[in-house]
Amino acid sequence: MQVTSPVAAAAAFVGSTGLPGWKLLSGDLDRRMGMFAKDPYVSRETQYFRENIGKVRTVDDLMKDRRLYDYAINAYGLDSMSNSQAMMRKVLSEDLSNPAATANRLSDPRFKQIAQDFGMAVGSNRSGDVKRVESFIDAYVTALYQKRTGENVGKVPLPSQTEAMDAIREEPAIEAEIEYFRSKITDVGTPADVRADKRLMTFALTGAGWDKPQPAAETVERALSDEAFRDGLADERWETLGTFFSFLDEGRKLLADPIRAMVKDVVGRYVRNSFELETGRTLPKVVSEQLQKELDAFAAKPVVKEQIAQFEKAAQELESPADLVANPKAYKFVLRAYDLDSFSRNTTMIIETLVEPSDSVTSPAHFDQRFRDMAEGMAFLSRDSMPPFKDSTFIDKVVEGYHRWSFEASVGEMDSNLRTALFAQRTLPKITSPFGILADTNLTSFVFGAIGLPTAASGQDIDKLADMIKGKLDFDRLDDPAYFDELANRFLASSSGIASASSFSPALTMFGSAGTMSTVGLDIGLLLSIQGN
């Protein structure tokens, strides 16, 4: 994303460059930033964010609105990720409680912060349809990696393999194929639909293990239509493909929106339990084709159909367990879906179940599978699962971050070293060890210049570099404005700046590629090891 304010505007807000510019900024930063926040472009983007962020319910909602997406990532200083939506989708949709989540594996703490604030993993047990779409994509990327390297990838990839596959996902051509597949797979409802979309079919066949040449389209359609024919081909790749598209046997389409998928699951449970109550029959876990027709006919009854429609409409407005309890019809519907009708008066227990993590030993979900199913199935009501996008305090926090980023970026148009100093002023007080500095190219640039470490020092062993920084930098005083001012003065006065902040790029921090600190050469493996210190 290009910086919005021109150099002339930056000069108006700063007034000078280098040390004189820093003295003006450090003595009057709040007022100058306040003036800058009134810049027409900044004001317009902020107004748009405030008016539209409350409509976002899923990662897809955010990704589809580029103004909202760019505003959000810029507020966290991740402007270099504007065209890396595949990576950011993983960051925002994976469950942070999983140590293997992308945000947890990256050394840059900004990814974890935005995942905590904006993450939309709907519960740790995400809906089956969402998982299925992601399994398609994972299989596709894995197949490309295995073809390129000749290596086999096990059920749990090695860290080096995961890093390499993440890089493959970011390749523009691959990212385009993934996004195409993601947008089209939910339109597929029959084997003929698969055959009709050659691009989607090629994606699926690649993920199932086929290189070129791939099977003919008519063979694919027949294999997906006839399990016996598929089995007769005696090739495990056909079995894999059949597993991918098993939802076609159910006569339905995938729901890649996790909230819609969860709502659909609740509806299915409601129909099943209502059918049992009305008929007195106990249904098996796996219903026959004939029994499914009976359930479908029951769901089509006018009174049941109306109840389903009312719940589906209400579900789009529910944002908390309290909202559910306050809506009698939706509340009754959910309790019936999870066979909890007898607990309708115990609203406290229901709210506790939906608020606490489903694996908490104090939650009713710990003692009763029905409550556990409800906690996981209604996870979209939890603040832990959905960001508080309508909370004014949350919105103000993001706006403040965007204003700061915009100001820093605009100042950087005029003097890249001033931008580095402003970035360090904001982030250095949060650093507790030398490794936190060495994991960020811009902080390394600032600190090397401030404490007088020459560029040549970057060739040292990482532990020796850490010891050198520890010996010259007082970590106990990093939150002292006077001490930071001393460091900024030294950095800006230094004639041997380690790097130009004009290459400001969180992506370089992530992957350690050439750029701001090319002489340091920290690769992703090393950055991940630093993260563990």
The per-residue pLDDT for range 384-440, each reduced to its tens digit, is: 456 778 778 889 999 999 998 888 888 888 888 888 999 899 888 888 888 888 877
What pLDDT, on the 0 to 100 scale, is given for residue 512? 34
Q: Rounded to 5 degrees, what angle do the CA atoms 118, 134, 197 make? A: 120
Residue 194 phi, psi dihedral angles, 5° rounding: -65, -50
For residue 204, being part of any structural domain is answered with yes
- State which of 221, 250, 279 marks the end of a domain: 250
Token digits of residue 520: 């340091």
**Cα-Cα-Cα-Cα dihedral sign, residues 190, 195, 199, 205:** positive
The DSSP element (H or E) to which 326 belongs, if any, is none
Q: How many other CB atoms are there within 10 angstroms of residue 396's CB atom? A: 11
**Cα-Cα-Cα-Cα dihedral sign, residues 60, 63, 67, 73:** positive
Residue pair 61/151 in contact by the 8 Å Cβ criterion? no
Residue pair 533/527 in contact by the 8 Å Cβ criterion? no
For residue 457, being part of any structural domain is answered with yes
Q: Same structural domain for residues 244 and 264? A: no
Residue pair 13/410 in contact by the 8 Å Cβ criterion? yes
Q: Same structural domain for residues 139 and 52? A: no
For residue 410, being part of any structural domain is answered with no
Is the confidence at residue 218, as pLDDT, over 80? yes
Q: Same structural domain for residues 301 and 373? A: yes
100, HSE (Cβ side, Cα atoms, 13 Å): 10
Residue pair 174/168 in contact by the 8 Å Cβ criterion? yes
Can you state the angle between helices 7-14 and 18-36, rounded to 10 degrees?
100
Distance CA 66, CA 30 (A): 29
Secondary structure letter of residue 390 according to DSSP: T
Enclosing domain of residue 444: 415-531
- State which of 330, 364, 381 marks the end of a domain: 381
What pLDDT, on the 0 to 100 scale, is given for residue 455? 61
Long-range contacts of 455-458 (CB under 8 A, 24+ apart): 455/496, 455/498, 455/519, 458/498, 458/517, 458/519, 458/520, 458/521
Residue tagged 């749990």 (tokens):
156
% of residues, the chain, pLDDT over 70: 86
Can you state the angle between helices 217-225 and 198-208, rounded to 10 degrees?
70
For residue 60, being part of any structural domain is answered with yes
Distance CA 457, CA 203 (A): 48
Distance CA 67, CA 62 (A): 9
Q: Same structural domain for residues 134 and 246? A: yes
Q: Same structural domain for residues 100 and 132? A: no
Which is more confidently placed, 293 or 35? 293
Q: Same structural domain for residues 244 and 137? A: yes
Token digits of residue 269: 């449970």
**Cα-Cα-Cα-Cα dihedral sign, residues 236, 241, 247, 248:** negative
How much of the chain is helix, strand and coil, in % rounded to 5? 70, 0, 30
- State which of 250, 266, 288 marks the end of a domain: 250
Q: Same structural domain for residues 89 and 134? A: no
Q: Same structural domain for residues 86 and 109? A: yes
When pLDDT is cut at 50, 70 and 90, the band that residue 208 belongs to is very high
For residue 401, being part of any structural domain is answered with no
Residue pair 242/224 in contact by the 8 Å Cβ criterion? yes
Q: Which of 145-159, 193-207, 304-318, 483-497 has the lowest mean pLDDT?
A: 483-497
Q: Same structural domain for residues 92 and 163? A: no
For residue 483, being part of any structural domain is answered with yes
Q: Which of 85-99, 201-215, 316-330 has the lowest mean pLDDT?
A: 85-99
Q: Same structural domain for residues 146 and 212? A: yes
Rg (CA), the chain: 27
Q: How many other CB atoms are there within 10 angstroms of residue 76's CB atom? A: 22
pTM score: 0.62
DSSP secondary structure string, 154-197? -SS--HHHHHHHHHHHHSHHHHHHHHHHHHHGGG--SHHHHHH-
What pLDDT, on the 0 to 100 scale, is given for residue 110? 87
Q: Which of 21-30, 339-348, 479-488 has the lowest mean pLDDT?
A: 21-30
When pLDDT is cut at 50, 70 and 90, the band that residue 240 belongs to is very high
Domain count, the chain: 4
Q: Same structural domain for residues 96 and 164? A: no
Is the confidence at residue 276, as pLDDT, over 70? yes
For residue 394, being part of any structural domain is answered with no
Q: Same structural domain for residues 217 and 315? A: no
Residues 356-380 pLDDT 10s? 776 678 888 888 999 989 988 888 7
For residue 27, being part of any structural domain is answered with yes
Residue pair 230/238 in contact by the 8 Å Cβ criterion? yes
Token digits of residue 496: 């041997």
